[in-house]
Structure 1
Amino acid sequence: SMVLLKNDNNILPLKANQKIAFVGPLVSDEFNIIGSWAALGDRSGFATSVKEGVTNYLKNVSNITFDQGVEIKSTKRDLMQTALDNAKNADVIVAVMGERENMTGEAASQTNIDLPGMQKEFLTELKKLGKPLVLVLLNGRPLTLTWENENMDAILEAWWPGTRGGDAIAQTLFGANNPNGKLPMSFPRNVGQLPLYYNHKNTGRPYLGPTDPEQKYKSQYTDVGNSPLYPFGFGLSYTTFEYSNMKISSNKIKFGEKLKISVEVKNTGNFEGQEVVQLYIRDLVGSVTRPVKELKGFEKINLKKGESKTVSFEISSEDLKFYNLDMKNVAEAGSFEVFVGENSSSERKANFELVN
Structure 2
Amino acid sequence: MCMVPNDFHFTDNLIALVREGLIPEEMLDNPVRRILRLKHRLGLFEQPMPDPSLIDEIGREDANALSLQAARESLVLLKNNGILPLSQKGKILLTGPGCHSLAALHGSWSYTWQGADEKAYPPSLDTILEAFNAGHGRDNVLWARGAQWDGSTDFDYAIRKAQNADAVVCVLAEEPSTETPGNISDLAMPQNQLRLVRSLATGKPLILVLLENRPRLITEVAGLCHAIIYAGQPGPHGGAALYELLTGRLNPSGRLPFTYPRSPHNLLPYDHKHSDTIGRDAETPGFHPLYAFGHGLSFTSFEYDNLKVPAAPLAQTDRLAISVEVTNTGQRRGIETIHLYVRDLFASVTPPVKRLRAFTRAELGPGERRTIKIELPISDLAFFGPENYPIVEPGEFEVMIGNQTARIAVE
Q: Is the 8 A contact 1:72 1:100 kept in 2?
A: yes
Which residue among 246, 260, 263 is the counterpart of 2:321?
A: 260
TM-score (norm 1): 0.86
Give, in whole Å, the separation in 1 of the partners of 2:389 and 2:141. Answer: 62
- Report the CA distance shift for 1:172/1:105 in structure 2 as closer, same or farther (over 3 A): farther
Give, in whole Å, the separation in 2 of the partners of 1:138 and 1:284. Answer: 39
Higher normalized contact order (CA 8 Å, seq sep 6+, divided by chain length) = 1
CA offsets 1:61-101 (integer angstroms, 9 cap, x no match): 31221111111340x33x22111101012211111112111
Aligned to 2:303: 242
Is residue 2:311 matched to residue 1:279?
no
Higher alpha-carbon deviation: 265-274 or 39-48: 39-48
Deviation, structure 1 residue 268: 1.6
Give, in whole Å, the separation in 2 of the partners of 1:134 and 1:286. Answer: 45
Aligned to 1:212: none
Is residue 2:165 matched to residue 1:90?
yes
Deviation, structure 1 residue 246: 1.9
Matches within 5 A, 1:34-53: 34-40=106-112, 41=117, 42-44=119-121, 45=123, 47-53=125-131
CA offsets 1:232-258 (integer angstroms, 9 cap, x no match): 111111211112222223153233333
Aligned to 1:27: 99
Matches within 5 A, 1:49-198: 49-58=127-136, 60-74=137-151, 76-77=152-153, 79-102=154-177, 105-127=179-201, 129-194=202-267, 196-198=268-270
Task: Letter of the 1:336 partner, please give it.
Answer: F
Task: Letter of the 1:7 partner, please give it.
Answer: N
SS of structure 2 residue aligned to 1:274: strand
SS of structure 1 residue aligned to 2:182: coil
Q: Is the 8 A contact 2:198 2:221 kept in 1?
A: no
Which residue among 372, 377, 381 is the counterpart of 1:311?
A: 372
User: Which structure has more helix as a fraction of its residues?
Assistant: 2
Is residue 2:273 matched to residue 1:201?
yes
TM-score (norm 2): 0.75
Is residue 2:288 matched to residue 1:227?
yes
Higher alpha-carbon deviation: 312-321 or 234-243: 312-321
Deviation, structure 1 residue 279: 0.3
Matches within 5 A, 1:264-343: 264-341=325-402
- Report the CA distance shift for 1:225/1:124 in structure 2 as closer, same or farther (over 3 A): farther
CA offsets 1:189-210 (integer angstroms, 9 cap, x no match): 101102x21112344x8x74xx
CA offsets 1:292-311 (integer angstroms, 9 cap, x no match): 21111101110111211111
CA offsets 1:328-351 (integer angstroms, 9 cap, x no match): 43321111111112xxxxx53111
- Flag as ranges the 4+ runs of structure 1 deviating above 4 A: 104-107
Task: Letter of the 1:349 partner, please give it.
Answer: T
Q: Is the 8 A contact 2:383 2:390 kept in 1?
A: yes
Q: Which has the larger radius of gyration?
A: 2
- Report the CA distance shift for 1:191/1:57 in structure 2 as closer, same or farther (over 3 A): same
Q: Is the 8 A contact 2:252 2:299 kept in 1?
A: yes
Aligned pair count reads 332
Give, in whole Å, the separation in 2 of the partners of 1:111 and 1:234. Answer: 27
Give, in whole Å, the separation in 2 of the partners of 1:55 and 1:43. Answer: 23
Give, in whole Å, the separation in 2 of the partners of 1:266 and 1:149. Answer: 30
User: Which structure has more strand as a fraction of its residues?
Assistant: 1
- Report the CA distance shift for 1:87/1:105 in structure 2 as closer, same or farther (over 3 A): farther
Deviation, structure 1 residue 227: 2.3
CA offsets 1:274-302 (integer angstroms, 9 cap, x no match): 11100011111122232221111101110
Which residue among 77, 83, 86 is the counterpart of 1:4?
A: 77
